Amino acid sequence: MRIVLVGPPGAGKGTQAAYLAKNLSIPHISTGDLFRANISQGTPLGKKAKEYIDAGELVPDEVTIGMARDRMGESDAADGFLLDGFPRNVAQAKALDESLAGDGLALDAVLDLEVPEDEVVKRIAGRRICRNDSAHVFHVTYNPPRTEGVCDVCGGELYQRADDDEETVRKRLEVYHRETEPIIDHYRTQGLVVTISALGKVTEVTERAMEALKRDAAA
């Protein structure tokens, strides 16, 4: 399956993607995680992306689209993938559609996670991620690690993302409404959008998502 996860920052895309990718046996591809890995490795791409990420802005399309395409071209993604954080504007969505169509492929579903803004603000305020791998995500009260400050998965140090401060979050939410929400309409015209509530326990949301994807595939 080729699936796009969409939803505001803090909706739980990365958290759900980890479970959904495992259940569906497809790789989880997060452009945010790819940028953070490049930043921690000090690559030229990471250096370029950092200034935009720190400001809560989108990294320019010419950098992002190539990076996402390269990742989707890796062998583990040949039979499907779960995209998290990409596409993030209509130009990226069109580039993705064209790139898939060029290979005779198409998306199967766009899973839209709905969460009220006050809840995403609380989720982001308590988010802690792992230095070794930013796909290892915790929350100080909603999903605490067994030992404070230590990643349950790999023992790495947990830290708060620099762009999770209040001012940058406000900016990221504004960018989400202006740039990213329009992709939902873009994909709605293609009949691909499945909307679910992302409120409730992580396991409940995963079950809801799996049910919705099954119903969509059967329809």
Q: Which of helix, strand or coil describes residue 172?
A: helix
Distance CA 5, CA 20 (A): 10
127 burial class (0-12, 13-18, 19+ CB within 10 angstroms)?
buried
Is 47 annotated in the active site?
A: no
- Fill in the DSSP letter of residue 166: H
Question: Contact region for ligand ADP (CB under 6 A) — 37-45, 66-74, 165-173, 197-205?
Answer: 197-205
From candidates 19, 90, 91, 143, binder to ligand ADP by CB under 6 A: 143
Task: Provide, rounded to whole angstroms, the least separation between the CB of residue 188 and ligand ADP.
Answer: 20
Smallest distance, ligand ADP to C-beta of residue 14, A: 3
Query: CA–CA separation, 120 vs 116, rounded Å?
Result: 7
Q: Residue written as tokens 């290892």?
A: 136
- State yes or no: residue 15 binds ligand ADP (CB under 6 A): yes
Active site (annotated) includes residue 128? no
143 binds, among ligand AMP, ligand ADP, none (CB under 5 to 8 A by kind): ligand ADP
Which residues here bind ligand ADP, judged by CB under 6 A? 7, 9-15, 123, 126-127, 137-139, 142-143, 200-202, 205
